[in-house]
Amino acid sequence: MTGSSGIFDDGIPIVADRQNNVDLHYDALTGLPNRALFYESLRKIIKQAEINQRIISVLFLDIDNFRKINETLGHALGDELLRQFSLRLLECLRIRDMTARLGGDDFACILVTPDGSGDAGVVASKIREALRQPFELQGRPISVTASIGISVYPTDSLDADTLVKNGDTAMHRSKKAGRDTYRFFTSEMNARAIKRLDQENALRKALDRNEFVLHYQPKMELSGGRITGVEALIRWNRPGHGSIAPLEFISSLEQTGLINRVGAWVIDSACRQIAAWRDSGIGEIPISVNVSGRQFSQSTLNGDVIRAIQENDVDPEMLEFELQTERALRENSIDYDLLELELTESSLTAHANKTISILRRLKVLGIQISIDDFGTGYSSLVYLKRFPVDVLKIDRSFIMNVTTNPADAAITTAIIDMAHSLDVKVVAEGVETVEQFDFLRMRGCDEIQGYYLAKPLPANEISELLLGGIKLPKPAQSPLV
Contact footprint for ligand C2E (CB under 6 A)? 217, 233-234, 245-247, 250, 266, 290-292, 342, 372-373, 396, 429-432, 450-451, 456
The site string for Mg ion over 419-448 (x = CB under 5 A, - otherwise) reads ----------x-------------------
Residue 27 vs 373, nearer CB to ligand C2E: 373
Among the listed ranges 132-140, 171-179, 347-355, 372-380, the one in contact with Mg ion (CB under 5 A) is 372-380
Q: How far apart are CA 260 and CA 292, in angstroms?
A: 9
Task: Please say whether the beta carbons of 437 and 416 come within 8 A.
Answer: no
Pairwise CA distance, residues 393 & 344, whole Å: 10
Strand pairing report for 106-113 and 368-374:
unpaired
Partner whose binding site includes residue 79, from ligand C2E, Mg ion, none (CB under 5 to 8 Å by kind): none
Q: Which is nearer to ligand C2E, 101 or 235 (CB)?
A: 235
Choose the one of ligand C2E, Mg ion, none that binds residue 370, judging by a C-beta under 5 to 8 angstroms depending on kind.
Answer: none
Q: Maximum distance among all alpha carbons in the chain?
A: 83
Name the binder of 245 from ligand C2E, Mg ion, none, CB < 5-8 A by kind: ligand C2E
Cβ 456 to Mg ion shortest distance, Å: 11
Does position 340 bind Mg ion by CB under 5 A? Answer: no
Q: Does 372 help bind Mg ion (rule: CB under 5 A)? A: yes
- Specify the residue, 160 or 419, whose C-beta has the smaller distance to Mg ion: 419
Per-residue three-class SS string for 99-117: EEEEECCEEEEEEEECCCC
Nearer to ligand C2E, 52 or 397 (CB): 397
**Residues contacting 475, CB < 8 A, separation 6+:** none
Which letter does DSSP use for residue 146 in this model? E
> What's the closest the beta carbon of residue 292 comes to ligand C2E, in angstroms?
4
Q: Does 345 bind Mg ion (CB under 5 A)?
A: no
Tell which positions 279-318 bind Mg ion, by CB under 5 A.
290
Residue 65: how many CA atoms within 13 Å on its side-chain side?
11
Residue 464 burial by Cβ neighbours in a 10 Å radius (0-12, 13-18, 19+): exposed
Contact flag: residue 463 with Mg ion (CB under 5 A):
no
Name which of 26 and 452 has its Cβ closer to ligand C2E.
452
The span from the CA of 458 to the CA of 212, in Å, is 12
373 sits near Mg ion (criterion: CB under 5 A)? yes
Measured over the CA atoms of residue 464, residue 468, residue 472 and residue 476, the dihedral's sign is positive
Of 83-142, binders to Mg ion (CB under 5 A) are: none
Q: Which is nearer to Mg ion, 105 or 373 (CB)?
A: 373
In this complex, which beta carbon is closest to ligand C2E, that of residue 37 or of residue 266?
A: 266
Q: Which residues contact 249 (CB under 8 A, 6 or more apart)?
A: 199, 203, 236
Distance CA 51, CA 366 (A): 56
Contact region with Mg ion (CB under 5 A), list: 206-214, 275-283, 310-318, 336-344: 336-344
